[in-house]
Each structure stands twice: as C-alpha cells, then as structure tokens.
Chain A
Amino acid sequence: MPYSGSDSKTVFASKAVNKVIDNIIQKNFDGEAPKNRCFISVIGYNHNVKELCSGWLKDLDNNPLKIEKVKEKQPNGNGGIIEVDVEQPIWVEPITQDGATNMKGALDLAKETVINWMNDHQDKDDPAPVIINISDGVPYYNGLDVHFCMEETTKVANEIMNLSNADGHVLIFNAMIEKDGAKSVFPNDISKLNEEEAKFLFNITSVIPDSYKGAAAKNGLEMMENSRGCIFQADAVQLIQLIDFGSSKGQGDKNSIV
C-alpha cells in the first residue's frame, strides 16, 4: 500500500517501525525467548528529538509501550484464508504534533548512540551499526534557512558515515515517504533524481556494501552497481523491506541498528 495521505506520515512510519521490530524479534524467537542478536534504538523527531525506545531484542520484547489486539490473515491449510487474533506489541507511537524536521538533531543523537555502542562493543566480530532514517524530505529546524539546515545535516551524516569499526563503516539508509514525486528504489545516479529532497537524501545515504546483496535479493530489492540504500516515495511494504534489509546483518549475528 503506497503512502496515500490517509494516515499521517508519522502514523504510517510508526506502523512500519513497530511491524519491523516485531518481525526482527520474531525471526530471532525460538519459542522460548528471542535471541539477543540485535540492539535497536529508535529516535523520533519533529522539532524535538527524542529516543523512543532502545534495547536488545529480549528487553524490547519484555517492555513494549502497550499491546494491541489485531487480526492477522492466515492460510487455513485448505487453500482458504482465516483471520486469527494476535497481540501486537507497540514500542513507538506517532508524534501527534506537527512541527519542524530536526533531522540534524536526530543524526546528532544517532551519532552519539553509535559511538557509545561501538566504544562498548569492540570485539572483532561486532558489526558496524546501521542507521535507517525515515523522513518526508529535507531538514528544517529552529527557523533557519532550509539550505543551511541541509548543509549542517549533511555534515553530521558524513561524520557518521566516516565512523567505522573492524566490520566496516557505519551505514545510513534513507526512506522518504511522500504522496507525490517519482518513485525510486536503490538509485545509483543522482542525475536521474529530480526533486531537491531526493538529491539531498541521496547524498546522505551510504553505498550498499556487497555483503548486503543476499539480503537485498531475499527482500526482493533490486541492486545495481554503487546503489545507495535509499527509497523514495516508499510504500508500506518497501519501507518494511528497507528496514528489514538494513537490519538483515543482525539476523544471523549480533548487530545494532538505530
């Protein structure tokens, strides 16, 4: 389902984030407990920047904000579909107030979080963290000029992408959710992007490392040479795929995502 505007963007993004956290826990759940293979931090931002939740999978599973009862469609084993009642944990609730887009502040906090995480996890097997940024375009905060905000935000994004550990560089993947505009998945050429917002996000997105090729194929996402980990005008499925893809290194080994 593409983003249609029926939900607010934050509601749309929150649903995707909750779904993906649940998927990651479920993938690492053996029936008795989730295995602590991922550390997840979620940062929310409008004019304010706030860490919404943070923890290893087991901690997150034990401490959702609330549980909602939802109906899920399931094959009934005879070719039909049945609806079953399941309990869906909620970790992230949408911000109800509209405001600015303090992406720089969010990236500052993300930078601090990954630096702390990497300082605490210095084994040779500890993977480089991945940051997945979901936004509706360009940064705008404190009443400053948009282009100045973009420059400042790009500076922080580059600082983050230059951070590294034994596994490699910290990665930033981006998803832009907007009703209008051209759709693009994992572009590799900025000249083919028309909107200024898309060009800005392309510049603050990492080139997808080869080690993610398998995960891209698994998520049905096509990759080209030097593809960057960004999706523009993402629909719900693609948004979930991107987050799932970005955290895929954590499905088999310990990892951290923000």
Chain B
Amino acid sequence: MRIKAFITHKDQERFTDCQDRFSVNKDTKSIALADGMSQSIFQKIWAQLLVDKYTTIEQWEPTIESVRELSPKWQDQVMAIIPSLTPAAQRRSRNSLAMGMSAGSTFVGIRFNENKWEGWVLGDSCLIIVDQNNEIVKIETSQEGHFDSHPDYFDSNPNKEGKGLPKTISGELHKGEKLFLVSDPFSDILYNIQGSDSQKELICKLLAIENHEAFEALVANWRAQGMHNDDSTLVVVEYDESDDFHVVHEDSIDAFIEMEKQQENPLEPVSASKDDNLEKESTSLSQVVLDEKIEECKTLKDYLSVVADRFIDSLPKELKKRKENLKKRFKDQLFKALDCYYKIEGK
C-alpha cells in the first residue's frame, strides 16, 4: 500500500486550532481519522484518543459502548490541561464542564489484512472507494443523503449517547484502486461530484498531491471555488501490489503546532516529541539557509549579521512590518558592541 496523509486548518486559523486528527500505523496496518466537533469542548483531545486507540490496539472496535472506556482518559487529559490555561479560559472550561459539555468527534478507520480491509465509520468523516478509472465507486458513511452541520459523532461523556450508530465497512483493494479517508470538506465535495463529468479530473488532482505545499495549494484553490472552509484532512491509500504500508508522505500536526509555537516564541526551546517527523520539520528550510550563509561568512560582522537576520525573521508575524527597522537597529547595536570589543582588546 502506498500511503500519503495530509492535514490543514481553516483559512485564517492555525494548526493549534485544527480539530482534525489522523493516525497511520505501519505495524498494525491501520489508518484512522477523526474530526472533533466545533461546538464541543476539548474535541482535539477526544479526536486524538480515538485515532490513537484504533490504530494502536488491533482488536479494538469503536462502538458506542467501547468508546466509553476512553472517557476517563479524556477527563484526565482535560483536567491536566486546565491549570495551564488563562484564568478566563479556566473559568470558561470549568463552567462548560459543570454545564455537562463534552467533546464530540466523527470517525473513520480501516485496518488491512493483506489486501482486505475492514473498518468503522461514524458521521461525515468518510471512506471514499475509487476504481482503476478514477471514478468514485462508493462513499462509506454512517449517514444517509446530503451531509449537514449535525453529523453523527462519538461523545466523550459516558452518560451521553452521541449521535448515530457506527457502521462497519469492509472490502478489498486491487491494483489501480484507491481509498481516501477524508474529513467533511472533502466528503462534501466528493459526494457532490460522484458520477459527474468532473469527478475523474478532481480525483486525479487529489492523487497528484505529493507534499504538504501541494495539498495546501489544492485546498486553497478548492476553497476559492466553494469548498467549505473547515479543517481538512486527506489520507490516500493506493494499492502498489505490496501488502506492506509504504508511507510516502505523512503530515505531522504536532510538528506544525510546534513550529507555530517557535514562530511565536523564538527563544523557547523546541519541546521533546516522540514524533520522528518533528525532527525533520525542525530542520527547516530557514535553518539550512542559515547554515549555508554562515559558511559563507568571512568576518565576525558577517556572521553577526546573518544571526541577526535569522533572529528577527523568527519573530511573530505581527512584527512583520517592523522587521527591516528592527534588523537595522539590532545590527547597529551588535556592531557597536563588536567595535567596543575590538577597541578594548586592541584589535
């Protein structure tokens, strides 16, 4: 199986705000995607728990009853996070919990055994089955008809039923066939183009995505043409005549969030993460450029100038307009300090 997985947030928001989560596990040959619902609380934690559980524990089946065992973990994580919030957010979180609010999330997950797959789906996170001709054969969802703003979901409160019943799904993947696991903006678009003249073209565009930048470009383009502006996740599974998982691209939301934090607080150290991708993402393009520029430096002033540029570039976006001015002032100060040093040392 050749697998690519992409995720992005709503326009005008950030990855920190993104409520979609997905997981791809090569060892258990499983993939899951969950979309935390907007008008619920701590839905990101709930979505993450669902996808992690499904892709880690091979025998686990996400039924209304079995997801209740995740509720205490959700509550523990929520209680752990509340003290770190602002006083206003702590007050609002406690109010929300006292009022019985909880998290909701849609879900789709599949596990492979050779080329056979089985899975579960609930709500408008869907599995799209595509044939060799790049035509949509079926859209697996627990719901009937058009998608609306009230999808089926799992609730993190064990005393609540959530909405709808999770549906079991299964099939086989053959040469040339594809599976897409998608969150609702793609579910909606693919539902609407199913059987239309444009479906092949749009499916080809989805299959052609090979990296995050291309995914962002496609999402921006489709949003401009009317795709719902919401968190958007796409996992593509293509049968490459091997039963092993070949993950050729996998976005890491943790890495993206960490990068956002770094941009906001450039002096804070990158926190440790188990995710291998984080290391990859942290060696960002700007770091490579910095290394190259430093190699080119002939004097200490050149070096300080490069470091100053890098430091100012890493400041938050809000300071963008002032960057050139800041760079100049920062360098002036550095060079003055250097001149003083030379003077004192008699160099």
Q: How far is the CA of A29 from the CA of B94 in the complex (A)?
A: 12
Contact of B56 with A by CB under 8 A: no
Contact pick for B89, options A61, A64, A74, A86, CB 8 Å: A61
In the assembled complex, the Cα of A72 lies from the Cα of B98 at a distance in Å of: 10
B41 to chain A, nearest CB (A): 4
Query: A84 to B95, alpha carbons, bound, how many Å?
Result: 9
User: Which one of B12-20, B208-216, B339-347 contacts A?
Assistant: B12-20
Q: How far is the CA of A75 from the CA of B98 in the complex (A)?
A: 11
Q: Confirm or deny: B137 has a beta carbon within 8 angstroms of a beta carbon on chain A.
A: no
Binding-face segment, A3-11, A31-39, A177-185, A224-232: A31-39
B12 contacts which of A64, A75, A254 (Cβ < 8 Å)? A254
CA–CA, A85 and B99, complex, Å: 9
Is the Cβ of B41 less than 8 Å from the Cβ of A29?
yes
Q: Residue A134 at the B interface, CB < 8 A?
A: no
Do A87 and B99 contact each other (CB < 8 Å), given the known contacts A31-B41, A31-B42, A125-B11?
no
Stretch in B78-86, B116-124, B312-320 touching the partner: B78-86
In the complex, chain B residues 70-96 whose Cβ is within 8 Å of any chain A Cβ? 78, 81, 85-89, 91-96
A252 shortest CB reach to chain B, Å: 8
Q: B8 interface residue, CB < 8 Å from A? A: no
Interface residues in B38-54 by Cβ distance below 8 A to A read 38-39, 41-45
Min CB–CB distance A137 → chain B (angstroms) = 36
Whether, in the assembled complex, A77 has its beta carbon less than 8 Å from a beta carbon of chain B, the answer is yes
With a cutoff of 8 Å between Cβ atoms, the chain B residues found around residue A125 in the complex are 11-12
| Whole-angstrom CA separation of A35 from B39 in the bound complex | 12
Is the Cβ of A33 less than 8 Å from the Cβ of B96? no
Question: Does any Cβ of A come within 8 Å of B283's Cβ?
Answer: no
Q: Are B229 and A253 closer than 8 Å at their CB atoms? A: yes
Number of A interface residues at 8 Å Cβ cutoff, please give it. 27
Contact A75 B41 (CB under 8 A): no
Name B37's closest neighbour in chain A (CB-CB): A30
Given the known A-B contacts A30-B17, A30-B44, A74-B100, are A87 and B95 also in contact in the complex, defined by CB atoms under 8 Å? Answer: yes
Inter-subunit contact B17/A35 (CB<8 Å): yes
Is B159 located at the chain interface by the 8 A CB criterion? yes
State whether A72 touches B89 (Cβ < 8 A).
Answer: no
Residue in contact with B19 in the complex, picked from A25, A27, A30, CB distance below 8 Å: A30
For residue A26, CB closer than 8 A to chain B, the reply is yes
Minimum CB distance partner of B230 in chain A: A252
Return B124 CB to nearest CB of chain A, in Å: 16
Residue in contact with A61 in the complex, picked from B17, B92, B229, CB distance below 8 Å? B92
**A65 beta carbon closer than 8 Å to chain B:** no
Complex: how many Å from CA A33 to CA B90? 9
Please determine whether B12 and A31 come into contact, CB atoms closer than 8 angstroms.
no
Q: Which of B38, B88, B99, B159 contacts A72 (CB 8 A)?
A: B99
- Check B85 against A33 for contact (C-beta < 8 Å): yes
Given contacts A27-B39, A31-B42, contact A86 B95 (CB under 8 A): yes
Contact among B44, B99, B159, B229 with A74 in the assembled complex (CB-CB below 8 Å): B99
Roughly how many angstroms separate A31 CA and B85 CA in the complex, as a whole number? 9
Q: Is A62 an interface residue (CB 8 A)?
A: yes
Q: Mark out the residues of chain A between 40 and 70 whose CB falls within 8 Å of any chain B CB in the assembled complex.
A: 61-62, 64, 67
Bound: A31/B100 CA distance, A:
13
Interface pair A86/B13, CB less than 8 Å apart: no
**Closest residue of chain B to A82, judged by CB?**
B100
Question: Does B229 lie within 8 Å of A29, measured CB to CB?
Answer: no
Known contacts A61-B88, A61-B92; decide if A32 and B81 are in contact (CB<8 Å): yes
- Among residues of B, the one whose C-beta sits closest to the C-beta of A29 is B92
From the candidates B19, B38, B88, name the one contacting A62 in the complex (CB within 8 A): B88
> How distant is the Cα of A75 from the Cα of B95 in the complex, in angstroms?
15
Chain A residues whose CB sits within 8 angstroms of the CB of B78 once the complex forms = 31
Q: Which residues of A contact B41 (CB under 8 A)?
A: 29-31
From B12, B43, B99, B159, A30 is in contact (CB under 8 Å) with B43
17 extra interchain contacts, Cβ-Cβ under 8 A, other than A34-B89, A125-B12?
Answer: A25-B92, A29-B96, A30-B38, A30-B43, A30-B44, A31-B41, A31-B42, A31-B103, A33-B85, A62-B86, A77-B100, A77-B159, A84-B98, A86-B99, A87-B94, A89-B88, A125-B11
Closest 8 CB pairs of A and B: A31-B42, A31-B41, A86-B95, A61-B88, A62-B88, A84-B98, A77-B159, A87-B91
Binding site for B on A (CB under 8 A): 25-27, 29-35, 61-62, 64, 67, 72, 74-75, 77, 84-87, 89, 125, 252-254
- Chosen A-B contacts, 23 in total, with CB atoms closer than 8 Å, are A27-B39, A29-B41, A29-B89, A29-B92, A30-B17, A31-B42, A31-B44, A31-B78, A32-B42, A32-B81, A32-B89, A33-B89, A34-B92, A35-B17, A61-B88, A62-B87, A67-B91, A72-B99, A74-B99, A74-B100, A84-B98, A86-B99, A125-B11
